[in-house]
């Protein structure tokens, strides 16, 4: 008698309480075995294009050098993106025109496309729905308070926790976001906050200055280049 084990997919699989690498699982399926393994493969999610915020300091310098630019362009581009919240090459007037187009096309690809923006609480709360490069959808929210603005950003598309009361959980986890996809939400939201669009909060100039940095726990997005 053969017993069917279903719903195993690429990556690590679990059968009979043991974790199998996918290749081992396929090997077991190929030999005479009392179990019949049904292995279903699922493509790994395609990650977004490389972005400045994915790279550490050395990586950013190496990336601009690969484009034929001097290494100090990494700092100039980092200051625009992380510090001044600028991603439009036309606004990077300290860079040669030809360099701007090349650097922004290669290192500041569009990661987030806004699909819908909602405001409530008289403009103190603003939510944005983003489409990612693979059509996955995520949200981020700005919440204005008298002494601060709080930003809530997404680090995953979907959720794997499957809480029974939650529609997001029932749809499962699509994928983790890249570092740059997370940081880009922060940079975008910082720009919205600095524009004064969040009502009931402090003066924008008190919240964000060009010298401010976007940083991550792994230091990937420090502005100095």
Q: Which is nearer to ligand SF4, 170 or 195 (CB)?
A: 170
Smallest separation, CB 165 to ligand SF4 (Å): 7
Cβ neighbours of 19 (radius 10 Å):
10
Query: Is the CB of residue 100 less than 8 Å from the CB of residue 121?
Result: no
Binding-site string for ligand SF4 from residue 164 to residue 193, where x marks contact by CB under 6 A and - marks none: --x-xx------------------------
Q: Which is nearer to ligand SF4, 67 or 161 (CB)?
A: 161
Q: Which is nearer to ligand SF4, 97 or 161 (CB)?
A: 161
Smallest separation, CB 97 to ligand SF4 (Å): 45
- Helix orientation angle between 97-107 and 57-66, rounded to the nearest 10 degrees: 120
Query: Is the CB of residue 137 less than 8 Å from the CB of residue 115?
Result: yes
For tokens 């923006």, name the residue. 117
Q: Which among 4-12, 34-42, 156-164, 179-187 is the span making contact with ligand SF4, rule CB under 6 A?
A: 156-164
Q: Which is nearer to ligand SF4, 125 or 168 (CB)?
A: 168
Q: Which is nearer to ligand SF4, 173 or 222 (CB)?
A: 173
CA distances (Å), origin 103, targets 100, 108, 110, 209: 5, 7, 13, 23
Three state DSSP letters for 24-84: HHHHHHHCCCCEEEEECCCCCCCCCCCCHHHCCHHHHHHHHHHCCCCCCHHHHHHHHHHHC
Q: Which is nearer to ligand SF4, 69 or 181 (CB)?
A: 181
Smallest separation, CB 171 to ligand SF4 (Å): 9
Give yes or no for residue 141 binding ligand SF4 (CB under 6 A).
Answer: no
- Site for ligand SF4 (CB under 6 A): how many residues? 7
Smallest separation, CB 159 to ligand SF4 (Å): 3
In whole angstroms, what is the distance from residue 56 CA to residue 218 CA? 9
When CB distances to ligand SF4 are compared, the closest residue is 169
Nearest of 137, 130, 85 to residue 108 by alpha carbon: 85
For the record, the structure tokens of 187 come out as 């940079």
Per CB under 6 A, the list member of 161, 172, 195, 209 interacting with ligand SF4 is 161
Give yes or no for residue 163 binding ligand SF4 (CB under 6 A).
Answer: yes
- For ligand SF4, the binding residues (CB under 6 A) are 159, 161-163, 166, 168-169
């Amino acid at each position: 008698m053969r017993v069917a084990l279903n719903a195993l997919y690429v990556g690590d699989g679990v059968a009979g309480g043991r974790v199998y690498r996918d290749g081992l699982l396929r090997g077991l399926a190929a030999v005479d075995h009392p179990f019949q393994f049904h292995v279903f493969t699922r493509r790994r999610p395609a990650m977004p294009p490389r972005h400045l915020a994915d790279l550490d300091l050395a990586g950013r310098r190496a990336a601009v050098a690969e484009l034929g630019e001097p290494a100090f362009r990494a700092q100039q581009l980092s200051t625009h993106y992380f510090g001044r919240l600028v991603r439009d090459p036309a606004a990077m007037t300290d860079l040669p025109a030809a360099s701007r187009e090349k650097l922004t096309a290669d290192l500041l690809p569009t990661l987030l496309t806004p699909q819908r923006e909602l405001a409530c609480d008289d403009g103190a709360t603003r939510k944005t729905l983003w489409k990612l490069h693979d059509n996955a959808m995520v949200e981020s929210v700005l919440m204005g308070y008298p002494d601060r603005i709080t930003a809530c950003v997404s680090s995953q598309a979907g959720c794997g926790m499957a809480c029974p009361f939650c529609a997001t959980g029932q749809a499962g986890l699509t994928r983790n976001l890249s570092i740059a996809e997370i940081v880009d939400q922060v940079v975008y939201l910082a720009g919205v906050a600095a524009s004064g669009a969040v009502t009931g909060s402090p003066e924008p100039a008190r919240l964000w200055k060009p010298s401010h940095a976007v940083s991550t726990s792994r230091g990937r997005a420090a502005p100095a280049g």
